[in-house]
């Protein structure tokens, strides 16, 4: 996300004790919902006085040198988009529920339909020329917004938007009352864990008139837009009537009604979710296709076969790089788009608690980091298509590139096994020691291959590693309660540097500060970042935080794979945009050239 754009909307400054959606443990689908975690928000920096949706979008990020460039989608025909047709999209699993404010485990599969059925308060643009692989704030139901004063945020709404013409909502206009109902439910009634750092400071949400919503806060809250009102969970616009007689969103025929480009048309468990074009959608001429079938295909090989045979049109995301590589070689007409994964594959956390724990010694932690050959991950496991560790530069400029670390710190991020052995000896472990890595197999490939590679690398410096494969729900529970010992390997979202970097504050919840780091220098730096609005100063403070992380080596990140989309050549207008926790109306501009 663009630093300049974020500055225009008040700067992203998250509550440091409770990381927002970008910082929570990344969740695969399908699975059981993760346990709720608690967090303590803290004061944020004052926001700028006003913000408008006319801010320039961020420039397209430059891929890391190790990542092969993705194949750009074919340009639309000169004659322009064609209307009509049925688009068949591959989906991995049945939705675990129909209420996006409550669905966590497996949310990404529901998100694909959710982005089509509902409008959001803000979303990510998918028009030609908008930044690929980024999540840029743009208006949707909102038309404009501003801070009236330090404690009052005002949103003006689009006029003339209508809900889909289905009972019990029956096509009525979207008004401020709907936004108040939706955001009150998200912020205070569900409540949504991911947005609680912001929601806790929102004291009142009210309609000033039919098209104006005001948010009263107990302090300046510049993170209100990116964390709360730009959230995949928090900013969906519901109609109160669609809860049905039970007061829950459990019946898609009644509850899955929004003001987005498509309306719900049917669901056959294990087979498909069907949508049809919403004729009164507020954007003239959109969407282009008449209908969308989301084909529920859990088996990866079957999804590949359907795409290759043309029985499916689009694999929208989460295609492994190995599959993309094979398709590139065997099916060159299929168009691929690749973006760095923001779910941050490969975080090895080292516990900072317990008795007789060797990882309490910084020399041991540095030795572990220097024993891991990060380049080998890219060359072997990721087949040459990974993005450099420790962070993906394309995600956000606040993340520091490897080349930006001074030599005395960069050495801890490089493969130096002989130096690692010396550090172990200095720490009192000349013959190494035995330890374990707790991990879940739920994330699949290449996550599992990565932890196995780490377990194979560490014995070369004398650390004998046992992998403890743990059932996913138990693994989540142990992480939230800090019951794991030694080391833990998992995924963490890195789409928001403020959220990720605040994990290392001593006041962060155990579920976020997984190693239970207690470091006064880090606390001071994260506090400073939480008070800093100026983008250039943010970069400077964020760099200091990352230098401290490298120096202390509480966590080791291995390279990130690319996440691919694939579409058959007749699929036009598809553009990768948005990230795990943000909304992108990607379906509305797709058309079929056949």
Condensed to tens digits (0 to 9), the pLDDT of residues 141-195 reads 999 999 898 889 999 999 999 999 999 999 999 999 999 999 999 899 887 766 7
pLDDT over 80 (residue 8): no
Helix (H) or strand (E) holding 370: helix 362-370
pLDDT at position 444: 80
More confident residue, 338 or 286: 286
The tally of CA atoms less than 13 A away on the side-chain side of residue 93 is: 16
> In the numeric block, which tokens belong to residue 383?
């087949």
| 266 alpha carbon, distance to own chain's centre | 28
Query: What pLDDT band is residue 399 in, cutting at 50, 70 and 90?
Result: confident
Nearest to 174 by CA among 220, 210, 215: 210
Residue 560: φ, ψ to 5°: -95, 140
Q: What Rg do the C-alpha atoms of the chain give, in angstroms?
A: 24
Q: Which of 76-85, 370-379, 524-533 ranks highest by mean pLDDT?
A: 370-379
Query: What pLDDT band is residue 34 in, cutting at 50, 70 and 90?
Result: very low
Of 85-94, 228-237, 296-305, 327-336, which gets the smallest average pLDDT?
A: 228-237
Q: Please give the average per-residue pLDDT across 56-76, as a whole number.
A: 38
pLDDT at position 118: 92
Q: Please give the average per-residue pLDDT across 494-510, as a whole number.
A: 80
**Do residues 154 and 229 make contact, with C-beta atoms less than 8 angstroms apart?**
no
Q: How does strand 591-592 pair with strand 571-572?
A: antiparallel
Distance between CA 118 and CA 262 in Å, rounded? Answer: 8
592: left (phi over 0), alpha (psi -120 to 50) or beta: beta
More confident residue, 529 or 83: 83
Distance between CA 235 and CA 98 in Å, rounded? Answer: 16
Distance between CA 270 and CA 442 in Å, rounded? Answer: 20
pLDDT tens track for 550-586: 999 999 988 888 888 999 999 999 887 655 556 678 8
Mean pLDDT computed over every residue of the chain: 81
pLDDT at position 578: 56
pLDDT over 80 (residue 506): yes
CA-angle at 17, arms to 368 and 192, nearest 5°: 110
Of 164-168, 220-224, 546-550, 588-592, which gets the smallest average pLDDT?
A: 220-224
Residue 584: φ, ψ to 5°: -145, 120
Domains of the chain and any CATH numbers: 3-62+80-333+565-592 (3.40.190.10), 347-557 (3.10.105.10)
Residue 196 to residues 189, 201, 224, 531, 569, Cα–Cα distance (Å): 11, 9, 11, 19, 43
Nearest to 274 by CA among 296, 258, 254: 296
pLDDT over 80 (residue 110): no
Q: Please give the average per-residue pLDDT across 25-30, as a whole number.
A: 41
How much is the pTM? Answer: 0.74
């Amino acid at each position: 996300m663009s630093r300049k754009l974020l500055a225009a909307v008040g700067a992203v400054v998250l509550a440091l004790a409770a990381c927002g959606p970008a910082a929570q443990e990344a969740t695969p689908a399908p699975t059981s919902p993760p346990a709720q975690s608690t967090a303590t928000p803290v004061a944020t920096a004052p926001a700028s006085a006003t913000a408008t949706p006319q801010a320039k979008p961020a420039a397209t990020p430059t891929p890391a040198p190790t990542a092969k460039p993705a194949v750009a989608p074919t340009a639309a025909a000169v004659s322009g988009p064609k209307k009509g047709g049925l688009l068949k999209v591959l989906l991995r699993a049945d939705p675990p529920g129909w209420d996006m404010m409550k669905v966590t485990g497996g949310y990404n599969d529901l998100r694909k339909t959710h982005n089509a059925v509902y409008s959001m308060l803000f979303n990510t643009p998918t028009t030609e020329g908008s930044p690929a692989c980024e999540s840029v704030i743009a208006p949707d139901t909102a038309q404009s917004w501003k801070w009236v004063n330090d404690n009052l945020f005002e949103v003006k709404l689009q006029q003339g938007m209508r809900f889909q013409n289905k009972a019990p909502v029956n096509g009525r206009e979207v008004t401020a009352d709907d936004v108040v109902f939706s955001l009150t439910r998200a912020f205070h009634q569900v409540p949504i864990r991911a947005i609680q750092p912001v929601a806790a400071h929102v004291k009142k949400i009210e309609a000033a008139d039919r098209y104006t919503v005001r948010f009263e806060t107990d302090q300046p809250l510049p993170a209100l837009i990116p964390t709360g009102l730009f959230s995949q969970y928090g900013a969906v616009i519901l109609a109160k009537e669609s809860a049905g007689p039970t007061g829950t969103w459990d019946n898609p025929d009644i509850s899955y009604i929004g003001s987005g480009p498509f309306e719900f048309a049917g669901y056959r468990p294990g087979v498909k979710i069907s949508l049809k074009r919403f004729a009164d959608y507020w954007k003239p001429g959109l969407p282009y296709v008449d209908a969308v079938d989301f084909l529920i295909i859990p088996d990866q090989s079957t999804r590949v076969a359907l795409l290759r045979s043309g029985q499916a049109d689009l694999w929208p995301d989460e295609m492994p790089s190995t599959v993309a590589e094979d398709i590139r070689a065997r099916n060159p007409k299929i168009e691929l788009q690749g973006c760095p994964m923001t779910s941050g594959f490969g975080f090895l956390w080292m516990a900072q608690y317990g008795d007789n724990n060797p990882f309490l010694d910084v020399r041991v932690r540095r030795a572990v980091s220097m024993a891991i050959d990060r380049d080998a991950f890219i060359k072997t496991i990721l087949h040459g298509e990974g993005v450099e560790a420790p962070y993906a530069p394309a995600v956000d400029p606040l993340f520091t590139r490897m080349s930006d670390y001074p030599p005395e710190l960069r050495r801890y991020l490089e493969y130096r096994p002989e130096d690692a052995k010396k550090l172990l000896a200095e720490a009192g472990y000349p013959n190494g020691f035995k330890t374990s890595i707790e991990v879940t197999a739920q994330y699949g490939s290449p996550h599992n291959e990565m932890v196995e590679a780490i377990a194979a690398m560490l014995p070369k410096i004398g650390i004998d590693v046992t992998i403890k494969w743990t059932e996913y729900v138990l693994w989540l529970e142990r992480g939230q309660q800090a019951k794991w010992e030694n080391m833990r390997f998992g995924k963490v979202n890195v789409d928001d540097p403020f959220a990720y970097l605040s994990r290392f504050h001593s006041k962060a919840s155990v579920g976020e500060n997984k190693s239970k780091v207690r470091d006064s220098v880090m606390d001071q730096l994260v506090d400073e970042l939480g008070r800093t609005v100026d983008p250039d100063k943010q970069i400077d403070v964020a760099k200091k935080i990352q230098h401290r992380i490298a120096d202390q080596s509480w966590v080791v990140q291995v390279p990130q794979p690319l996440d691919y989309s694939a579409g058959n050549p007749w699929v036009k207008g598809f553009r990768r945009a948005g990230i795990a926790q943000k909304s992108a109306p990607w379906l509305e501009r797709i058309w079929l050239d056949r």
